[in-house]
């Protein structure tokens, strides 16, 4: 399905990014996984094999993004498929949201998506084919208490997705977002820890409260998100453009 294509996945060292990298590799894509944690991306690249490469990058730093794409060009040429998955999720009431907390979410979740997409797009336009897949969140479509900065950054990702999708609609490039709910990843595990610290509930009770956010009463899996990403990356998914596809068990119905 993806033979001959090169895919760059940011935040590719664990969780959703790792699952997407593995799924794309199984379909024949050349894989570059990027993140700040070298050990994790090296482990994923080794797990994939077949020439997969790890690229160290801080997506919030435009110079780091520039270096990453320079290394990618030296190794693979260009990215046919870009998955903007790198992100953070922290919680705070609005009055306790510091400038640092606010700007950290915007710089990683939103500006990082912008920097990487801007760097990848010229080659896609030149080749007349490309896929940009942004990992947003259902928090990019709705709100929730204590995640103002996170939700604002993901709403921004949705705006970027929709606007760029229309900009490149006739060029052979599609731009879409995937909007997961709570997914069984390390990020959610850290969220459970924060809930237990702040509320005194047990880890089991905290996890159960997150599961109940979904009508299916469960966490999604990284592989479920990866399956949607695979469709969006394929030629069969070329008619899907400018969309935010929920993977949340039905908790958000738009």
CA dihedral 115, 75, 27, 86 (to 10 degrees): -30
The Cα–Cα gap between 141 and 137 comes to 7
Backbone phi, then psi, for 49, in 5-degree steps?
70, -155
The catalytic residue among 115, 146, 150, 182 is: 150
80 close to 3: Cβ distance less than 8 angstroms: no
Annotation says 150 is catalytic:
yes
Assess contact for 6 and 25: CB atoms under 8 A: no
Q: What is the secondary structure of 180-224 as a DSSP string?
A: E-SBSSHHHHHHHHHHHHHH---HHHHHHHHHTTSTTSS-B-HHH
Question: Cα(70)–Cα(120) distance, rounded to whole angstroms?
Answer: 11
Nearest 5°: the CA angle 86, 247, 189 is 55
What is the set of active-site residues? 150
């Amino acid at each position: 399905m993806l033979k001959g294509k090169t895919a760059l996945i940011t935040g590719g060292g664990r969780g959703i990014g790792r699952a997407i990298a593995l799924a794309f590799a199984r379909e024949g894509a050349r894989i570059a996984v990027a993140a700040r944690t070298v050990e994790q991306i090296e482990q994923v690249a080794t797990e994939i094999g077949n020439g997969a490469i790890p690229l160290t990058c801080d997506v919030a730093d435009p110079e780091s993004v520039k270096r990453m794409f320079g290394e990618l060009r030296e190794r693979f040429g260009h990215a046919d498929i870009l998955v903007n998955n790198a992100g953070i999720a922290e919680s705070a009431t609005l009055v306790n949201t510091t400038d640092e907390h606010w700007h950290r979410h915007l710089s990683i979740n939103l500006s990082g998506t912008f920097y990487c997409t801007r760097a990848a797009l010229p080659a896609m336009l030149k080749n007349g084919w490309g896929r940009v897949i942004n990992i947003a969140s259902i928090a990019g479509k709705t709100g929730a208490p204590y995640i103002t900065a996170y939700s604002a950054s993901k709403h921004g990702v949705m705006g970027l997705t929709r606007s760029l999708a229309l900009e490149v609609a006739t060029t052979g490039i599609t731009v879409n977002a995937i909007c997961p709910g709570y997914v069984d990843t390390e990020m959610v595990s850290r969220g459970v820890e924060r809930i237990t610290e702040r509320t005194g509930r047990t880890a089991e009770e905290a996890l159960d409260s997150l599961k109940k956010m979904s009508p299916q009463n469960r966490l999604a899996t990284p592989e479920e998100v990866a399956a949607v990403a695979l469709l969006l990356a394929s030629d069969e998914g070329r008619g899907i453009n400018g969309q935010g596809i929920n993977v949340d068990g039905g908790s958000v119905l738009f």
